[in-house]
Amino acid sequence: METRTNTLDVKKIRQDFPILQREVHPGVPLVYLDSTATSQKPAQVIDAMDRYYRYTNANIHRGIHVLAEESTADYEAARQKVAQFIGAESPRQVIFTRNTTESINLVAYSWGRRHLNKGDVIILTEMEHHSNLVPWQMLAQERELRLEFIPVTEDGLLDLTAYPALLDFKPRMVAFTQMSNVLGTINPAKDMIALAHQAGAITLVDAAQSAPHLPVDVQDLDADFFAFSAHKMCGPTGIGVLYGKKELLESMPPFLGGGDMIKRVQLRSFAPNELPHKFEAGTPSIAEAIGLGAAVDYLTEIGMDKVESHEKEIIAYALERLEEIPGVKVFGPEAAKKGGVASFTLSSIHPHDVSQILDRHGIAIRAGHHCAMPLHEKFGLPATARASFYLYSTREEVDKLADSLYEVRKIFGM
């Protein structure tokens, strides 16, 4: 069994993930190839949350008792860890939200409604997840804004030759994904941001797929906003992050109103709290923040550069194995330009049927439009099957996927 790549001791890593020890049918072990949707969680994360509920549970920022103080300290320590993980100058620039979707909605709602007016232009790309499309569409409808799109090439890359002409429209915002959840394409975020800034635009990076899989540094990127979810990076559901530049966050009105986000309240008015609390109304996801902190510790100890190289090896091998299967077409660029995502079709077999047959072999993939309907339309497809990989994925699992796809062909008489 080939579980060690040049970079990671995958066998050892897999032992950290209790779910990877289970069988999904009698005698059939789980082959989890759906980490783009959500990653599995190591015991280190599960235990940190369990410990919190067993020994520390209390509401934060309010009680003057031991549990409340410990709980607050743990929650704020998690914020500090996240700040360090993404290279933020200060933890005050790290806002805890529910997920990437909420982070982007926060920016569209609060920054967008404060700063954008009729006729203003927003640039997006054709490969965006619905989370980085619909909030801008809602804002555009309300404010009569114009949305423009960087096209995607046949190879699944952004057609950046079209970008300068779009920047001539003097957009106010350029929002794009750093890694596509369908094509796996890694976009040149730093260059795209620099060009956007030269044109006077603010930038938002959808890092839902990049932060879990690549080393990221918001200051090096010079990103204005940067959004991601804990559940895709070994952390729990229910917590995400919005990073923002301080002066931008300070220029924005609160998103939700309620407890914790205020400094002072009178019957008819309020004064908002300091960053980051201004954007964290109500009791937050405390255990989840602590779980995210543990996930950051876990990934940091392994090393994001190693996670990235491991996935590069796995995706290169996966493309090699998939492309040898007659009838398989994988979408997106060559392995060197993408992360661990392989979306494919198998002849005219519906991806749901492919997924269902793979499930009999314990293989979990996703089938559908992966919340990127416009991108699928561009390629003239209602759906694709998608296998995605993470730090615990092995070459042996890729082999099982390939072998099972031959089975699918056989079942369909090919």
DSSP H or E run through 124: strand 121-125
User: Are 310 and 212 spatial neighbours (Cβ–Cβ below 8 Å)?
Assistant: no
- Alpha carbon 302 to chain centroid distance? 19
Q: Are strands 173-177 and 202-206 parallel, antiparallel or unpaired?
A: parallel
- In the bound state with ligand 7TS, the residue whose beta carbon lies nearer, of 177 and 384, is 177
Footprint on this chain of ligand 7TS (rule: CB under 6 A): 36-37, 99-101, 129, 131-132, 177, 181, 206, 208-209, 229, 366, 370-371
Q: Quote the CA–CA distance of 83 and 107 in Å, as a whole number.
A: 19
What's the closest the beta carbon of residue 182 comes to ligand 7TS, in angstroms? 7
Cβ closest to ligand 7TS, residue 238 vs residue 254: 238
**Nearby residues of 31 by Cβ (< 8 Å), 6 or more positions away:** 361, 362, 363, 364, 397, 400, 401
Q: How far is the CB of 133 from ligand 7TS (least distance, A)?
A: 10
Minimal distance, residue 177 CB to ligand 7TS, in Å:
5
Q: Is 234 a catalytic residue?
A: no
Q: Give the tokens for residue 232.
A: 């895709």
> Is 98 or 395 the residue whose CB approaches ligand 7TS more closely?
98
Residue in 138, 371, 373, 381 annotated catalytic: 371
Euclidean distance between CA atoms 61 and 281, whole angstroms: 12
Q: Which of 190, 215, 188, 241 is nearest to 87 (CA)?
A: 215
* Burial (CB count <10 Å: 0-12, 13-18, 19+), residue 225: buried
Of 93 and 97, nearer to ligand 7TS (C-beta) is 97
Question: Least CB distance from residue 181 to ligand 7TS, whole Å?
Answer: 3
Contact present, 35 and 342 (Cβ < 8 Å) = no
- Give the residue nearest to ligand 7TS (CB): 181
Please choose, from the candidates 110, 129, 127, the residue with its C-alpha nearest in 3D space to the C-alpha of residue 37: 129
| Gyration radius (Cα) of the chain, Å | 22
Q: How far is the CB of 212 from ligand 7TS (least distance, A)?
A: 10
- DSSP H or E run through 7: none
Which one, 71 or 101, has the nearer CB to ligand 7TS?
101
Annotated active-site positions, please? Answer: 371
